[in-house]
Every structure is written in C-alpha cells, then in structure tokens.
Amino acid sequence: LQRYMDTTRADMLFSRGVIFVEGDAEAQLVPVFASSLGLNLDELGVSVCSVGGTNFSPYAKLAAALRLPFSIITDWDPRAAPHQAYGWGRTQSLIADIRSARGTPALTPVEVGLISNDELALRAAALQHNIFLNTTTLETEVAADANLRNPLLDVLLQQDFGPELTARLQSWRDGTVAIDNHQLMLMIGYVSKGRFAGQLAAALVGQAPPPYVASAIYRSVNGVA
C-alpha cells in the first residue's frame, strides 16, 4: 500500500466503486463522459483512479480482494504484424491476477491457449474480468468517432501550430484527407496530453463517449447500485 498509494489513488479505499485508467487524459475525460450519460460519479461514490501507466495489476488485485466493484479502461496499443498488441499480453496478465485475487481457479491450459491466439476470445474474457479495451489509443478512438472528431480537431486548431500543421488539421476537419493517427498523436504530444485532455474535456461536455468507455462506466456504476 505504501508503494502504490498516493493521495489520489488512496481515494479508491473510501469509494463504493472505482474506474481504473492509464493516465491524466482518461482521468479528466471519464467524469465528463459519465456526466453525458446522466451519471454523477462523485454522487455515486465511484472514483476514477489513474495508475500512471499500464501497471494495473496491484490496483486491480487490491480492488478484487476488497470486493470493490471496478472496471479497467486500457489501450490496445497495436504493433506491426506479426507482433501482438501490447494490450494483449497486458490483458492476459490482468486476467490471471484478478482471478488469483478473487480466489477463482486459474484458467486451464486450453483456455490460456485460446486467449493467447484468438483476439475475440481474449476480448470476451477481458469483459468478464471488467477490462475494457479499445482498438488503438484513447485519443485516436475519439478521433474515429463521428460525433467526437470535430470537437477534438477544433481543440487542436486553437493551438499555435503554424501554417503547415494548421492546414493539415483543417484538411482533416473538412474531411478532404483521412486523419493520420501517428501525426495526430504527435500534435497532441506537442500540446502535452494532460493539457490537451483538459481542453478536450471542456469541448466534449454533453457528448456520448466511445462505446468501450461507456461500458466501463456502466460496469462500475451498476456494481454500486
């Protein structure tokens, strides 16, 4: 507890439920998305806890051991073939840790083999263990959503990127050029993910979240109902 709990993460110990996220961007956006679904997480006693990376295991094991309703929102983080996405191995480890903390029998060798080689099987198992995955990263998932794309691009257009990058953003905004996810993440990095997330959260008030985020919110909220 001393190693992993800071003043923010320790809030989970006084909550009725928790949503674990990777970083500050998700921590700022999830409450806004919940509000757009008509849910006030503070009133419901559900905390949004950033683990500051992708090491969810210590927190998930603690929540599982305490029988605290929780969900995990994490990126798929794909890699070029033939390599599996980073999220694949991360999810497998989380499933094993959650089962151990719950006192649930370990997966059989057949089940392990299945989720090691079949993405659909892995995603199905993830949902059973309260793990909610996207297909890329949070920001690119938002950019791929027809209702969220323009607010995101409008926030970037407010930055002082210079004529070349501004023209690129405008072509994405007009729909004349498809969004390049690599370039998009570079631009967000120029702004800084935390600062960008704060501006984006304000721009997305009232907008429905990507489905995987909505599902994670409902999972934790339903657990405390």
Binned average pLDDT, 10 residues per bin, the chain of 225 residues:
63 88 92 96 94 91 90 95 94 96 94 96 97 95 94 94 93 94 93 89 94 96 88
pLDDT of residue 160: 86
> If DSSP states are collapsed to H, E and C, what string results for 50-62?
ECCCCCCHHHHHH
Residue 6 tokens, joined: 């800071």
Q: Collect all residues with Cβ–Cβ distance below 8 Å to 63 and sequence separation of at least 6.
A: 12, 18, 20, 69, 70
Nearest to 66 by CA among 132, 131, 14: 14
pLDDT value for 71: 97
Interacting residues of 133 by C-beta distance below 8 A, sequence separation 6+: 74, 75, 76, 87, 91, 123, 126, 212
At residue 2, the pLDDT reads 65
pTM of the model: 0.92
CB atoms closer than 10 angstroms to residue 60: 24
- Distance (Å, rounded) from C-alpha 205 to C-alpha 33? 7
Residue whose pair of structure tokens reads 């507890």 in the numeric block: 1
